[in-house]
Structure 1
């Protein structure tokens, strides 16, 4: 009798579960494989997206680059007036701030001794004139007698010499009198030009000499100045000048006659002017050039010593300009993108900043070339497909594009 072993129910269930698990795994792998093939096919068929950009054109233009300088307002003329004759200053007619006209008396040196000297010389001239008349009559008589033979040739020569000597003495006396009269006139010092008194160094009673500055010590009179070397200082300020320093690198741009503007910040005013004087000497310490610009000042409102800033406008030069937003890269490696055959091509350029929105193209592009720009520009690389959009269309709201029938 044979015995047969029949599997139990638990063993049969276990085998059934194993079979079903294997089948499920195989099905899952099949599904995954099928899905992968479908994605690859979709990616292969999907077109590459284009980046929307704008275009900026390289445009010729004339550029005026102002040259900036700073400096100080100065008077058209400045003179320190001292005495013209040695003596005591006995009258000063003006105060600091006085506005005077040419020829107005300013101060006076005591002239008593000079007046006496003039009177003495006037009498010496009269004496010399009398001697001339006497010598002339003597010579005339000697000449007549010489013709008659009563006076020798030697006697005639003596009479002629006496006459010539008298004339010479008259000439000397006359010259001395003229000098003394001039000294008397010079005791009163007058304004050499229309101007304003800006300093007074001494008061009345000060002895001052014209010989090598002897006796020129200052007494610290009105105006509070000392060591000025004179009595009064006068300035001509109906015309003032802005003395401005500009960098030497700007010298080729500036010449006599270049138009400009002087800005005086403390007065909140600006004045049109031009280069009147261009100093040929360059300051070796500051590497700057001195430029002078005149300003009419009939009301004396502009005071010497004010700080001034000047802008000069040289002749314009022709440049190629481009939108600043079209330029990418670092300071040493600038570049732009151009569209060629629907893709972006990188082009190296050299630029200079003109203002916050525009650059000058120094090299790399020519007039009429078109560079890519717009907010999507940072998304572009070499070979990126691009789509050129119109700036006008981009600026039009979507509602405006809807057509009404």
Structure 2
């Protein structure tokens, strides 16, 4: 009896204590869940977006004339007169300088008389042949005499041809004593003055050389070197902008020539871009900056603030069911704020950012918050990304 009473006395308090403990556990469960939410690391999220990217290819170079020609004498002799000065703008065919021509004038006069003599010999030889031919038909002249008359006529014609050729050559040399502009341009150098003997052949007295230099600059070209790694990004016809700082102007142009030779020392390729220059404002030799504008391409972009790791091993954190997940990615720099995502993420994926980003480790609870004014694209695109708060 005593044992039963003792058992009852112990059993009822134990049951009451167990009930109280169970009741207490049921009340603490929501509080523990709330504490777990408060322990999650607050972060922001950036979305991988698709856009068209047009990256200009830049290079520097020098303005060059369309044509540059040093002009020397065409015949040996003393430079007697120079008609232009440096800076003069000239037209095609305009006389520029003259070599002394007195000798060639005399030569032309002599050969003109030789041509007249040869023409007279041809007339006499033709008359002789005509008479011989008539007499041969009547039987008064032998065939041998007729052949002699024919040979005399032919020889006279040959001598006339030679005399005319010599006259034409001398006349050309006389004409060449005056050097004219080969094209419209501007005189950019004058190397000698009147009175200097100039030769047209190596080893001649005075040696070879130029009297004037003429440039054609109504069209000029920017000769620019760009890194070879950009060679695939443009082609002939690709639009470009040329900046010439010294005259504070820019010109719209295009790639007209791509040199097939790549400089193996600088690892650059030469391109040429034309500029219309009717007013001659752009001078050959000026420094030029060029931006070549390749066609836009479709890329995935992400703010640089989401990147972690080194240049050789980049990674980001994403949110997977409210926990941080490390994702290795490959990127390429676009500018100071964005990178191009090459591998690891797709359009619409979210990468975590924010001041707490360096604290994250794999599996850590995260809570994605919105910046002021930010749209809650995270919850819409990824319902398991965590808790979003406004």
User: Normalised by the shorter chain, which TM-score bucket?
Assistant: 0.7 to 0.9
User: Are 1:192 and 2:182 counterparts?
Assistant: yes
User: Are 1:54 and 2:44 counterparts?
Assistant: yes
Distance 1:394 1:112 in 2: 92
Distance 1:359 1:164 in 2: 89
The residue that corresponds to 1:337 in the other structure is 317
Q: Please tell me whether the aligned partners of residues 216 and 230 of structure 1 are also in contact (alpha carbons under 8 angstroms).
A: no
Query: For the aligned residues, what is the CA RMSD?
Result: 2.0
Distance 1:327 1:285 in 2: 35
Q: Name the TM-score, length of structure 1 as normaliser.
A: 0.81
User: Are 1:94 and 2:84 counterparts?
Assistant: yes
The residue that corresponds to 1:381 in the other structure is 361
Distance 1:232 1:75 in 2: 16
Question: Which 5+ residue runs of structure 2 have no aligned equivalent?
Answer: 1-27, 376-390
Which protein shows a greater Rg? 1
1:303 maps to which of 270, 283, 287 = 283
Distance 1:248 1:152 in 2: 86
Distance 2:265 2:327 in 1: 43
Q: Please tell me whether the aligned partners of residues 58 and 321 of structure 1 are also in contact (alpha carbons under 8 angstroms).
A: yes
Distance 1:311 1:213 in 2: 48
2:349 maps to which of 369, 390, 399 = 369
1:162 maps to which of 149, 152, 161 = 152
Question: Which 5+ residue runs of structure 1 have no aligned equivalent?
Answer: 1-40, 218-227, 396-405
User: Are 1:130 and 2:111 counterparts?
Assistant: no
| 1:367 to partner: Cα distance | 1.8
| 1:316 to partner: Cα distance | 2.4
| 1:356 to partner: Cα distance | 1.6
Distance 2:76 2:250 in 1: 47
Secondary structure of the corresponding residue to residue 150 of structure 2: helix
Relative to structure 2, which stretch is displaced further, 284-293 or 140-149? 284-293
| 1:374 to partner: Cα distance | 3.0
Q: Please tell me whether the aligned partners of residues 198 and 209 of structure 2 are also in contact (alpha carbons under 8 angstroms).
A: no
Secondary structure of the corresponding residue to residue 157 of structure 1: helix
Secondary structure of the corresponding residue to residue 315 of structure 1: coil
1:210 maps to which of 188, 200, 223 = 200
C-alpha distance after superposition, 1:160-182 (max 9, x if no partner): 00000000011011111111111
The residue that corresponds to 1:402 in the other structure is none
User: Are 1:141 and 2:121 counterparts?
Assistant: no
| 1:245 to partner: Cα distance | 1.3
The residue that corresponds to 2:246 in the other structure is 266
The residue that corresponds to 1:10 in the other structure is none
| 1:380 to partner: Cα distance | 2.8
User: Are 1:74 and 2:64 counterparts?
Assistant: yes
Secondary structure of the corresponding residue to residue 148 of structure 2: helix
